[in-house]
Structure 1
Amino acid sequence: MVMAEVEKSIQEELSLPILLAERVIKSAKEAESFKPENNDLAAQVAQLAQHLRAVARLTTASSNIYERPIRRVAADLTKSLDRALALCRKCKNKKTNVLRHVLSITTATDFKKVGNLLDSSSADVHWLLSIFKPDSENGTINLSLPPIASNDPILAWVWSYIASVQMARPEAAQGLATLARDNDRNKKFIVEENGIPPLLKLLKENSNSDAQNAAANALYNLADDQKRIEVIADALGIQIIAKALSEAPMRVQVMLVNLVSRMVEKDFKVQEEFGRENISRPLVSLLGMDVDLEDFKDVGQRRTATSLHSLVHINKEISRMVGSGLSSGGSLDGSRQNNGKKEKEREGESMEVKSELKVSCASALWKLARSSLLNSKKITETKALLVLAKIIEKEKGELQINCLLVVMELAAVAESNADLKRTAFKPTSPAGKAVLDQLLRVINEESSVSLLIPSTKAIGCLARTFPAKETRIIEPLVSLVGHRNPEVATEAAKALGKFVRDDNFNRKEHSKAIVEFNGIPKLMNLLRTSDRGQLHLHELILLCNLAINVSNNKSLEQERALSVLEKAARHVVLQHPELRELFSKAIHQLTLYQSGAHTVILT
């Protein structure tokens, strides 16, 4: 079994060219031909060795040195010195006059070639020294082009920036962010040249907000591809980002939340890892930084003492300073001092920054919750539903939309998980009632499609939680079936379909309510006026279930529901064989109560 080769230390990498340089100097001095050329070569190599030792001292003095360009330059230099050593050894022994004459032409050319190679290597080593000893007076980063990167200048920039990031320079991180924003090739270079760990280290260890913000910005620009996100995660980026989010200044938190949002959107594994780091806790705290939950206390007073205690606790939790108390460790006094400092920082931030942060937090929570039971549980355990309900009630624009999307995704997960549905969306609980009230208010009062669709989807997902007497939900949904926007109308039909399908215990009562609120004429009108070439699956499924549950209702006969189902049945069953039994049963039920009808057999 072949063992993997262990990478040499940087000191070992440098020791080889230094030893080779000494051998070249010794061989050059022992040469018996081309003595002037050998003397010049020895002087050139001696100066090069001196600079190499300076690089070696840098690597010994600091454990925080960026090694990638050093290894590349050392490898390239070793090849040049090997060639120089071979040339010097050719000049050591005397040759016959004829042979010496033949060799002299070749050797003279070789000295020029080797000299040029060593000049290039010397320039590379000078460049190395310059990037590790940046100009202390003006703080500029060396973006010159060394010979080793002459074929690809971007590589030299990436090396210079990463080396400076290792030295905790925020302008270098911003330089990487700019490079990463430009194109995928630059991103590939940054990742391949090991630029992600220094950025994470800058984010983790630097208390300078400019440095943290620049690092987060660079990581954000890199995290638009699943493979690069995996590199960030493998470098413990999830833990570092989660910790920084709880402690960073607010304007840095904006960028960090956007980073979380992008990573979660691109990679499901990262979505779950952030959940295990309980990232939802600081996100909910940030989202609810200015939310007042006093209105919910009146509701709590009508509940048990335990519920009241929970509400009071949540109010305290939400009103705590952003990020405070989320990290472990530290004394109580230290925690209080930190909370006070954070509070002052928050008060000093502009409304624009606060608003941007809230919008970003809602977006991140929405993406964290999507199809994730782990994250949905984590979010609802923070009592985020109360915060979301309050924001949906008071805010407008993107923040309101994003909060509705959070509720929609939480409801979608709860639809297939009875425990989450019971604990988070119970209609009689303060949180469940608050959210439901806002969803119904949006459906009844708002006209924006971007608000109506997530609200309708959320109510549909929760259809099995509502008792038969909860008719105030059915009426606005029926109204939306007649909405002028076909997407809204379809979502309303889809939601109503979940109230009347066979796995809903109260399906017959809900079906009667739909009929009572004139739902069948609206549904039939939607089917007739919509695009004829489109298969209106959700509308037809709703009609089938209504036909089964209230088959003797006159409105079904008046609106010629049987004829519509008979025409659509074969097309639907052809594409969705699993619906054969539903359509057959609906058509059979309608034929029992309509005179002159003939049973259609679906084949």
Structure 2
Amino acid sequence: MMMTVRGGGRGVGVSGARGGSKGVVVEGELSLPILLAERVAKAVGEAESFKTECADVRKQAEHISALLRSAARVAAASPTPFYDRPVRRILAEASKSLERALGLVRRCRRAGLLRRVVTITTGSTDFRKVHGLLEASAADLRWLLSIYSDEDGGGGVAISLPPIASTDPILAWVWSYAATVQSPARSAADRTHAAQTLASLALDNDRNKKIILEEGGVRPLLTLLRDGPSVESQIAAATALSNLASTADNVSVILHELAVPIIVHVLSDSPMRLQTQIAGLVSRLAAHHPDAREEFARENAVRSLVSLLSFEVPIEDFRSTPKKSSSIHSLVRGMGVASDSNSTPRGSIGGSNRSSSLLRDYYHHHRKDRENESSEVKLALKIASAEALWMLAKECVNNCRKITETKGLLCLSKIIELEKGELQHHCMMIVMEIAAEAEIDADLRRSAFKMNSPAAKSVVEQLIRVAQVGSSTVLQIAAIKSIGCLAKTFPAKETKVLAPLVLQLGHWNPEVAAEAAWALGKFVNPDNFLCVEHSKTIVEFAAVPALMRLHRAGEKAQLPAVILLSYLALHIPKSEALERTKVLGALQSVVRSPLAQDPSLRELLPQAIYQLELYQVGLQAHGELYEV
């Protein structure tokens, strides 16, 4: 027997499910139980005992066969791949029930001693068990047809429990709601409600998340996100996916369903309310798995996020920005020029020129809608976009490079200057992550933070300002960290960047003071070509007395203070400031403390003490010679 069902919009024979794609009911899952039902009916006709019971079994088998054929028609009538997880599970259980019934009926057709054994040992008990199994399978199939049937015009969602899920109601709910989410025949309201319910289930506990993921709930949600009949339905799908993306393993499942291209596509051309939710989804995925960050880099999600973040941000007339140009126009131009071969979305044609054209079309298409949105909606979108960029930039040099290749740094600088609260915080964190990657990637450091670059100058100015008078210690620490990460980019004459760091060595908050010491330590680290020049400048700014206080302040600030003092002693041991403040004695006291066992001090501390002692001995010898 051959039946035809459709999957992906094309007819596929059951015996040759092309590519084994999901949504296609294959022969082993539809034709096998129907074949078993026919064999049961044939075996009943050959039964010589328990004929009444066997006749009842045949009726049940024929009923199941009819239900199976109805399921085949439903599958064949589906214009798109449908959610088939419950189909596979229920058909497998139906096959087991029919196999058991077939075995029992066949035992009733044999004569002689065997028949007497069957009669004595089996009797009515086994038939009652088989009747129960077949009735349960029939009930499962009726429930299955109810969740796919559109006889009621698509209204409502099946919330009854089939026998197969009687011990775990969540399983039946997930099946029912996922099938509704996937079905284009259902109303927009039903599909939205189903997605919202899945989102709530996922939010309740980790077990629900696991069931939704294991039962293939991601694919229907992605379908709704991409092709949803309403913005509300797409928002519901995005919310459900965000709630599922709570661990690295969960994110892996979502990524396996090729979610990233769909997410980036929807992000690039949607109403602002939906874009806000999508940006939040990007944040969740990127925060929990590095593979997500890399996939978003390949799809160039940064381009869309930067354009959303820059909306209405007044970027000044830098040399690289055309005069009287709105931020979005300059961003689009910058994106088109800076794109590389890896930034072309998969499946696209025409590379970066086409992408830039799409963004320009998008901007003009949605400009009026954007302008009419409330300030609250605009702010929420900017905050979500900034957070998404922050998560994408974490330990991902590709995304950091894409941000800097656009006018992203100018945009971030301006927002840090003008905004407050979450938006300013997220933008500062983006800069911090980019600076951290630039510290270890010389190519990024040279391309993004050239000191003659307007973008780099603007960012550094904001970092210096926030490091001095940030609205919170969190922002100050982020700014100070960023400056430290960029230590190799500053020439010796750029002393203005060191002054605020030295000043913060005396900050009332030990975390800020410690971070300032760590940052200054990167300026005087021997890996820095200008370490000696920077050491002299730091001492000239009266850093040594503040470092001596930090050395005595407590564990949190002691290590970076001792490291910085050691570097200064190593580079400029003849400094009067080091002698006057008795740095040698302070370092010698550290040798006898547990702090000396820190890996960063094991070699550095003895070298610094040796240089100071050498200078002290030389100084004493000079004094004795002078007296003689």
Question: Taking structure 2 as the reference length, what is the TM-score of the superposition?
Answer: 0.85
CA pair 283-331 structure 1, distance change in 2 beyond 3 A: closer
Per-residue CA distance 1:211-249 (angstroms, 9 max, x = gap)? 221221111111122222122222211212111211222
State the partner residue of 1:224: 246
Offset, 1:576: 3.7
Q: Among 494, 516, 519, which residue is 2:540 paired with? A: 516
CA pair 105-499 structure 1, distance change in 2 beyond 3 A: closer
SS at match of 2:122: helix
**What is the identity, as a one-letter code, of the residue corresponding to 2:588?**
E
In 2, Cα distance between equivalents of 1:541 and 1:577:
11
Contact 2:431 2:482 in 1 (8 A): yes
Aligned length: 580
**What is the identity, as a one-letter code, of the residue corresponding to 1:235?**
E
**What is the identity, as a one-letter code, of the residue corresponding to 1:203?**
L
State the partner residue of 2:585: 563
The yes-or-no answer on 1:588 pairing with 2:610 is yes
The yes-or-no answer on 1:67 pairing with 2:84 is yes
CA pair 440-114 structure 1, distance change in 2 beyond 3 A: same
Structure 1 outlier segments of 4+, above 4 Å: 6-9, 93-96, 98-102, 308-315, 325-338, 570-574, 595-599
In 1, Cα distance between equivalents of 2:543 and 2:592:
25
Q: Among 368, 376, 380, which residue is 1:344 paired with? A: 368
SS at match of 1:469: coil
**What is the identity, as a one-letter code, of the residue corresponding to 1:380?**
T
Q: Among 485, 490, 497, which residue is 1:466 paired with? A: 490
Contact 1:591 1:597 in 2 (8 A): no
Contact 1:80 1:117 in 2 (8 A): yes
State the partner residue of 1:282: 304
Q: Among 21, 29, 36, which residue is 2:52 paired with? A: 36
Per-residue CA distance 1:297-319 (angstroms, 9 max, x = gap)? 1x42xxxxxx3559959651448
SS at match of 1:289: coil
**What is the identity, as a one-letter code, of the residue corresponding to 1:545?**
Y
Give the fraction of aligned pairs with identical amino acids, expressed as a percent.
49
Q: Among 242, 259, 266, which residue is 1:244 paired with? A: 266
Q: Among 427, 434, 439, which residue is 1:410 paired with? A: 434
Offset, 1:150: 1.2
1:434-449 matches, within 5 Å, as: 434-449=458-473
**Superposition RMSD in Å:** 3.2
The yes-or-no answer on 1:107 pairing with 2:89 is no
Unaligned runs of 5+ in 1: 1-5, 301-306
**What is the identity, as a one-letter code, of the residue corresponding to 2:570?**
I
Offset, 1:39: 3.1
State the partner residue of 2:626: none
CA pair 597-448 structure 1, distance change in 2 beyond 3 A: farther
In 2, Cα distance between equivalents of 1:140 and 1:9:
25
State the partner residue of 1:22: 38
The yes-or-no answer on 1:159 pairing with 2:175 is yes
Offset, 1:337: 6.6
**What is the identity, as a one-letter code, of the residue corresponding to 1:417?**
D
Contact 2:224 2:237 in 1 (8 A): yes
Offset, 1:120: 1.0
Of 484-493 and 249-258, deviating more is 249-258
State the partner residue of 1:303: none
CA pair 24-480 structure 1, distance change in 2 beyond 3 A: same
Of 540-549 and 434-443, deviating more is 540-549
CA pair 46-585 structure 1, distance change in 2 beyond 3 A: closer
SS at match of 2:156: coil
In 1, Cα distance between equivalents of 2:422 and 2:229:
31
Q: Among 261, 264, 269, which residue is 2:286 paired with? A: 264
Contact 1:292 1:315 in 2 (8 A): no
CA pair 552-373 structure 1, distance change in 2 beyond 3 A: same
Offset, 1:31: 3.6
In 1, Cα distance between equivalents of 2:355 and 2:498:
54
Per-residue CA distance 1:268-327 (angstroms, 9 max, x = gap)? 12211211111111111111111011x2x1x42xxxxxx35599596514489x99x998
Q: Among 479, 491, 500, which residue is 1:455 paired with? A: 479
Question: Taking structure 1 as the reference length, what is the TM-score of the superposition?
Answer: 0.88
CA pair 313-283 structure 1, distance change in 2 beyond 3 A: same
Contact 1:87 1:107 in 2 (8 A): no
The yes-or-no answer on 1:253 pairing with 2:275 is yes
Offset, 1:386: 0.3
Contact 2:269 2:362 in 1 (8 A): no
Q: Among 149, 152, 160, which residue is 1:136 paired with? A: 152
Of 448-457 and 34-43, deviating more is 34-43
Contact 1:497 1:538 in 2 (8 A): yes
Of 391-400 and 27-36, deviating more is 27-36
Of 72-81 and 434-443, deviating more is 72-81
Q: Among 194, 204, 227, which residue is 1:205 paired with? A: 227
**What is the identity, as a one-letter code, of the residue corresponding to 1:123?**
A
Per-residue CA distance 1:5-53 (angstroms, 9 max, x = gap)? x979434422222222223233334444433333333333322222221
Offset, 1:204: 2.2
CA pair 310-508 structure 1, distance change in 2 beyond 3 A: farther
In 1, Cα distance between equivalents of 2:355 and 2:402:
26
In 2, Cα distance between equivalents of 1:408 and 1:598:
47
